[in-house]
Structure 1
């Protein structure tokens, strides 16, 4: 087969070897994706209640439900704020769950995410207070992308300052 018969790579493909799990920050595997899909369909009551509010983009933030990152499926995620939101029931205080939650949080920190853990009872007791905490946590970090108020400063210029 000559060089003229080679099929060029599709967009995004090149001479780099394929990475298991897709690579990148969200690198995951098929099993985790399937788990996330099942969880989206089944959700527990506190998650269902919270999702009804989060899907309306409070504070202008977009949230995802059961978003896979690595080997984990996050209850909720705000990608622009790099925030994972986990709704913890009583089971999270039992057995090896605290250690597993700590390992999960450390894995997310390595990928640039903070984790906000909210007790399920708080969602049921005071959804307004939970929403205030979530929006505040999302606002603590600057967005990943520049706002649409113009181009970035030129080389040698300082943003927000004129000479």
Structure 2
């Protein structure tokens, strides 16, 4: 996806995405930098923290009732094969339960995906053991 498409999507964020974005920016103080409408070919994800390999998506409907559920599941599986952990929240959750949403995100950041832990590990010493 061209970077211009990601820029277009940033301009058309929903009120729930804006609300979550403002809260995610607070996590910079503890070293977790999120990008919004981040291009991860061939996708554009709502929010991405590369350090922790975490993706946060905001969906229009409650889980299980979204007409795009199957497409999202395929996309999530493809991203998970690339080492990312994907969290999905509905607009209602972000609007009415933002503290719970942030708690789930914080837990995912403090218990990173196994691929992120492996990437952060110092290299093992060379030579024979």
Q: Residue deviations 1:89-120, cap 9 Å, x none?
A: 1287343x111001111110121111101111
Q: Across the two proteins, how many residue pairs are aligned to each other?
A: 123
For 1:131 and 1:102, locate their aligned partners in 2 and report how far apart those are by CA, in whole Å. Answer: 22
Q: Does 1:137 align with 2:108?
A: yes
- Matched residue SS, 2:120: coil
Deviation of 1:152 after TM superposition, in Å, equals 5.4
Q: Does 1:62 align with 2:33?
A: yes
- Matched residue SS, 2:39: strand
Deviation of 1:130 after TM superposition, in Å, equals 1.0
Query: Quick check: which one's helix share is greater?
Result: 2
Moved over 3 A (4+): 143-146, 151-156
Equivalent residue for 1:115?
86
**C-alpha contact 1:123 1:130 (8 A) present in aligned 2:** yes
- Matched residue SS, 1:35: helix
Query: Quick check: which one's strand share is greater?
Result: 2
- Structure 2, gaps ≥5 residues long: none
| More RCO (CA 8 Å, sep 6+) | 2
Task: State which drifts further: 39-48 or 136-145.
Answer: 136-145
- Matched residue SS, 2:45: strand
What CA RMSD, in Å, does the superposition of the two structures yield over aligned residues?
A: 2.4
Task: State which drifts further: 68-77 or 83-92.
Answer: 83-92
**C-alpha contact 2:62 2:89 (8 A) present in aligned 1:** no
| Structure with max Cα Rg | 1
- Matched residue SS, 1:118: strand
Deviation of 1:83 after TM superposition, in Å, equals 1.0
Q: Residue deviations 1:117-155, cap 9 Å, x none?
A: 111111111211111110101222227335xxxx75644
Equivalent residue for 1:86?
57
- Structure 1, gaps ≥5 residues long: 1-28, 159-163
